[in-house]
Structure 1
Amino acid sequence: MSGGNNDVIVVGGGVIGLTTAVTLAESGHRVGLWTRDPVTRTTSAVAGALVWPYRIEPAERVGGWLERSLGRYEQLALNSAETGVRGVAGLMTDTPLDSLGSWASRVRGLREARADELPDGFGQGLRATVPLVDMPVHLRYLEERLRAAGGTVERRTVVGFEEPSREAPVVVDCTGLGARELVPDASVYPVRGQVVIVENPGIDEWFVSAIPGSTDTTYVMPQPYGVLLGGTAADHSWDPRPDPAMARAIVERCARIRPALAGARVVEHRVGLRPARPRVRLEAVRLPGGGRLVHNYGHGGAGVTVAWGCAEEAARLATA
């Protein structure tokens, strides 16, 4: 039995939790967001944040979530200074056009790259203009938007869902990697990502080369705060500390693609643990006390990419 002032409590302050809370609050529900960490210190804040699917399943559902999210981000990009969302052109290598889902028809300027547009050593790639998100700015924007819609944000650490269910009849679980212990769900595991931020030597396009199954990826994301260079994808690694040798290797890989990066001054090192799962869990269950619990976690490396589509589905499940 709930005894609080909220209709819904969303647990988790990353991009999935914030977007879900905003969606619910703007639909007229009284929403409280509980987050263990400040929103700008969540895993989401470390993301390269290119709107493109990466390390996420099931493919047959991801496309729909992505299409709905893409439309939202394109609208947000009209006010990039406030939202942190920009439409940026770039190159995705080793990704045949016919390997993409129906969502690809929504991507601006998507086409096969010409041979003269490919860096040395690459035989195929796609050019496109897609949303690229400055995550610290975007997370603050979402938090402010939630408050403007009447929602509240509290720093609270929970050890189970009984606590929020005593304060609201519906709880939405957007705890990411935390679901491993909270649910508990042993199928959730970390995919460690390390990135390096350098001063921008004049790069204005993104570049991604992510070979499936490889622990090393190469990506260059020009952001307002510098260029975010990546990266790594180490399954089941919990180490939050930047590895100096990995950082050097990241810069070297990126400099082979964009030689101007070789001498760029390093501003910051970041590590994030992507909340991976064989499939995203997005479903409603009953709590022992009769409340409703909606799970929305396991988005791997594509939380930003599918955030709005998943939020809309989670909101429907929360209010059904």
Structure 2
Amino acid sequence: MNGLDERINESLDILIENETFLGQELKYLLKSFKEEKASVGFSFGKLCYWHYEAFSDSINDDIYKVAAAVELLILSFDIIDDLQDKDSDNSWSRTPELSLNVALAMLIMASKTIDESSFEHKRAAITLLEEYALKSISGQQLDLLNNCRDEDSYVQMITLKSGSLTAMSCLIGEMLAKGEVTKEVEAYGKYIGIIQQIKNDIQSLKAWGPKNDLLNKRFSLPIIYLLSQQNDISKSVANYYNDDIVTVLDNNETENELTNGGAIRYAVTVKNVYKFKALNYLENVAISELGKEYLQKLIR
């Protein structure tokens, strides 16, 4: 972990340990789930921190607690998402009933932590957290319904589900620093979520396993493109999605069609549209070189 990840991780440990209303079993599970998250880094908390730093004259150490609070909310959503999709090998999927209580505790702790901070604009930050969290839940509901079967509706869904959470993380940092937010930060914050989701969708199709969207009959941009083609593979996939019990997918042919038939290239092209939009907005925001480098990495 780098220095910022370590500070956020330390703040999470303190928040968990000092939460007097949680029993030891809940604390134990919360800590273990947090450790799994720590292994991949705290990208949402870092978005919060970098935007606070960009617009603040000095650093209030409570920002590390708020960044940790943002990570608690994100982890709670990850847990709930995995429990709903039933396709995760994370430890929380082994005890779904107990893990749901941990996720609920995280949601409450996220808001409570910001409320107990010393920031002047903490109430406005909590309002942002609530607003964008509800938008993300609306997107998750659309995702579970699995009805977004064209580019426009699919992008609208991932904008709500994923874009809301990345935008929220950026905006909370900005709000705490200066008491207001800007459309530029909201825009590229939202686009970061869209870009990351499309990258995840592409990655999902590279492994023919339990998390593969096609095998799970989920819709994503590459699959939407594939289904729009009039060829034998697309017809076979359409029949598979329509529960034709005699349809057996040829893994090699289907994978080859996704890779070489334009589906992946199409998804990458859509991703790049949002990449250039995000970079354009980012150019108009005065953020430190380290912060900008981190954002550019997420955008690309």
Structure-2-length-normalised TM-score: 0.27
Task: Determine which structure has the larger helix proportion and give its number.
Answer: 2
Higher-strand-fraction structure: 1
Indicate the structure whose relative CO is greater, using CA pairs within 8 Å and at least 6 residues apart: 1
**Larger CA Rg, structure 1 vs 2:** 2
